[in-house]
Amino acid sequence: MNVLLIDGNDYDREYFRHRLLQSSSEYVVTEAKSGHYGLKAFEEGRFDCVVLELELPDRSGFEVLVKLIPVARQPAVAVVVLTHMAFHALNELAMNNGAQYCLVKARTSGDELDRAIRKAVAAVGPRNKRKVRRE
């Protein structure tokens, strides 16, 4: 399963990448340290799921989310928000803009992230298998 992990925190990115790889040998994880690099990687690759931090060094994670899923009710890729911000309103806003799950880093194990990714991919369905052309 191809996962794009967008997070400006080097430690968190490495930690959750490592936990996913421990959860399953199926994972191929591509890392991006900013919204810019994340969107560039997304355009150049095929991903089953994007794991997205809402607070990025160069822009809001919401800006990235809206570019990943231009039509909130018709996602072409699964998105799991994994953030250190534990605000219910932000999580609800992310879900209303196309994310399938919102998790708080401090309360999320590798196994929980693995389950959320699998459920998010299943919820989006086969549409996420095709590359989405954006202009």
| Residue 103 included in any domain | yes
Residue 38 sits in a domain whose CATH number is 3.40.50.2300
| Domains held by the chain: number | 1
Angstrom distance (rounded) from CA 120 to CA 80: 7
Question: Which pLDDT value is given to residue 128?
Answer: 45
| Residue 134 included in any domain | no
pTM for the model: 0.90
135 pLDDT exceeds 60?
no
| Residue 135 included in any domain | no
Q: Considering Cα of 69, then 72, then 75, then 79, what sign does the dihedral take?
A: positive
Q: What phi, psi does 34 have (nearest 5°)? A: -155, 170
| Residue 104 included in any domain | yes
pLDDT digits 0-9 by tens, 13-53: 999 999 999 999 999 999 999 999 999 999 999 999 999 99
Domain region containing 82: 2-129
Question: Which pLDDT value is given to residue 131?
Answer: 46
Question: Which pLDDT value is given to residue 73?
Answer: 67
- What's the DSSP call for residue 56? -
